[in-house]
Amino acid sequence: MMATRSVVLLLAAAGCALEPFSSYAPPAGIDSGGSEGPDGGEATDTAAAPSSGVRPRVESLSPADGTDEGGTRVTLKGSFSQDVVVTFDGKPADVVSVTSGVLVVEAPRNRDAGVVDVEVENAEGADVLLDGFRYWPDGTGLIGGIAEVGVLRFKGGYWIDASPVARASTVFLDPTEAVFERFFAPGLDQCFVVDLIGQTVSGAVSDQQVFGTGAPEVVWRSGGASIVLPPASYDPNIFAPDTITLASLSAGSLWSVELRDGFEFPNLTLADAVATDAPGVEVTQPAIGGTNPPTVGRSFQVSWSGTGASSGAFVELYHLTPDGVGGLLVAQYMSCWVDDDGSFVVPDQWARWIQTVDDYLELHVGRSAYRESALPHNNAVFLGVARTDAVGALFMR
| Domain stops at, among 136, 161, 191 | 136
Statement to judge: residues 180 and 131 lie in one domain: no
Three-state DSSP class for 262? coil
Are residues 215 and 357 located together in one domain of the fold? yes
Query: Rounded mean pLDDT of the chain?
Result: 82
pLDDT band at 395 (very low <50, low <70, confident <90, very high): very high
Task: Give the pLDDT band of residue 143 (cuts 50, 70, 90).
Answer: confident
SS3 (DSSP) at 143: strand
Among 48-52, 156-160, 282-286, 345-349, name the one with the lowest average pLDDT. 48-52
Residue 52 domain-assigned (yes or no): no
User: Is the pLDDT at 139 greater than 50, yes or no?
Assistant: yes
DSSP assignment of 51-76: P-S---EEEEEE--EEETT---EEEE
Sheet with 300-304, strands from edge to edge, namely 283-285, 300-304, 343-346
At position 243, the amino acid (one-letter code) is T
Lowest mean pLDDT among 211-215, 359-363, 385-389: 211-215
pLDDT(102) > 60: yes
* CA-closest candidate to residue 240, choices 148, 317, 371, 330: 148
Over 80: is that where the pLDDT of 51 sits? no
Residue 162 shares a structural domain with residue 244 = yes
- Taking residues 284-310, report their average pLDDT: 91
Domain count, the chain: 2
Residue 109 backbone zone (phi > 0: left; psi -120 to 50: alpha; other: beta) = beta
Chain centroid to Cα 375, Å, comes to 11
The whole-number pLDDT of residue 204 equals 61
- pLDDT > 90: percent of the chain: 50
User: Which residue type, as a one-letter code, is found at position 327?
Assistant: G
Weakest-pLDDT range from 11-25, 58-72, 345-359: 11-25
Q: Are the beta carbons of 170 and 156 closer than 8 angstroms?
A: no
Residue 63 has pLDDT above 70, yes or no: yes
- Local confidence band at 223 (pLDDT 50, 70, 90 cut-offs): confident
Q: What is the CATH number of the domain that holds 84?
A: 2.60.40.10
Whole-number pLDDT of residue 141: 81
Q: Report if residue 49 sits inside a domain.
A: no
Q: What is the pLDDT at residue 310? A: 63
End of a domain among 104, 136, 168?
Answer: 136
185 and 109, same domain (yes or no): no
The residue among 275 and 52 whose pLDDT is bigger is 275
Tell me the range of 46-55, 90-99, 181-190, 245-254 where mean pLDDT is highest.
Answer: 90-99
For 182, residues 6+ apart whose C-beta sits below 8 A from its C-beta are 312, 337
Peptide bond into 286 cis (omega under 30): yes
Position 176 scores a pLDDT of 65
- Residue pair 365/337 in contact by the 8 Å Cβ criterion: no
Alpha carbon separation from 139 to 106, 175, 182, 218, 380 (Å, rounded): 19, 6, 18, 22, 4
Q: Are residues 171 and 128 in the same domain?
A: no
In the chain, % of residues over pLDDT 70: 82
User: For the segment 157-179, what is each residue's pLDDT rounded down to a tens digit?
Assistant: 999 899 999 999 999 888 765 45
Q: Per the domain annotation, does 36 fall within a domain?
A: no
Query: Of 42-46, 174-178, 218-222, 316-320, which has the strongest mean pLDDT?
Result: 316-320
Q: Is 77 inside a domain boundary? A: yes
Is there a domain that residue 46 lies in? no
Q: How many angstroms from the chain centroid is the CA of residue 334?
A: 20
Q: Is residue 1 part of a domain?
A: no
Domain co-membership, 126 together with 144:
no
Residue whose C-alpha is closest to residue 249's, from 266, 268, 215, 274: 274
Q: How far apart are CA 84 and CA 100, in angstroms?
A: 11
3-class DSSP state for residue 263?
Answer: coil
Asked whether the beta carbons of 245 and 165 are under 8 A apart, the reply is no
pLDDT band at residue 206 under the 50/70/90 scheme? low
Range list of H helices, the chain: none
Whether the link from the prior residue into 63 is cis, omega within 30° of 0, is yes
Residue 298 lies in a domain: yes
Q: Which range, 108-112, 176-180, 252-256, 392-396, is most confident?
A: 392-396
pLDDT for residue 177: 55
- The reply to whether 227 and 95 lie within a common domain is no
Q: Is the pLDDT assigned to residue 260 strictly greater than 90?
A: no
Q: Looking at the structure, do residues 190 and 337 belong to the same domain, yes or no?
A: yes
Tell me, yes or no, whether 249 and 107 share the same domain: no
pLDDT at position 78 = 96
Tell me: do 129 and 161 sit in the same domain.
no
R_g of the chain computed on alpha carbons: 26
pLDDT in tens, 308-366: 766 778 999 999 999 989 899 999 999 998 999 999 999 999 999 998 999 999 999 99
Residue 184 confidence (pLDDT) above 60: yes
Strand-pair category, 360-374 with 381-396 = antiparallel
Q: Does the pLDDT value for residue 241 go beyond 60?
A: yes
- C-alpha dihedral (274, 143, 11, 387), degrees to nearest 10: 30
Q: Are residues 124 and 259 in the same domain?
A: no
Bigger pLDDT: 289 vs 10: 289
* pLDDT interval class at 245 (50, 70, 90): confident
User: Which pLDDT does position 23 carry in this prediction?
Assistant: 38
Q: Of 73, 104, 108, nearest to 90 (Cα)?
A: 108
Instruction: Label residue 13 exposed, middle or buried (CB < 10 Å: 0-12, 13-18, 19+).
Output: exposed
Domain stop point among 79, 104, 136: 136
210, 236: one domain: yes
**Between 123 and 206, where is the model more confident?**
123
Give the structural domain span for 129.
Answer: 57-136
Query: Can you give the pLDDT at residue 252?
Result: 76
Greater confidence (42 vs 280) lies with 280
- Single out the residue of 205, 156, 155, 211 nearest to residue 181, CA to CA: 205
> For residue 34, is it within any domain?
no
Q: Which residues contact 326 (CB under 8 A, 6 or more apart)?
A: none
- Say whether pLDDT at 155 is over 90: yes
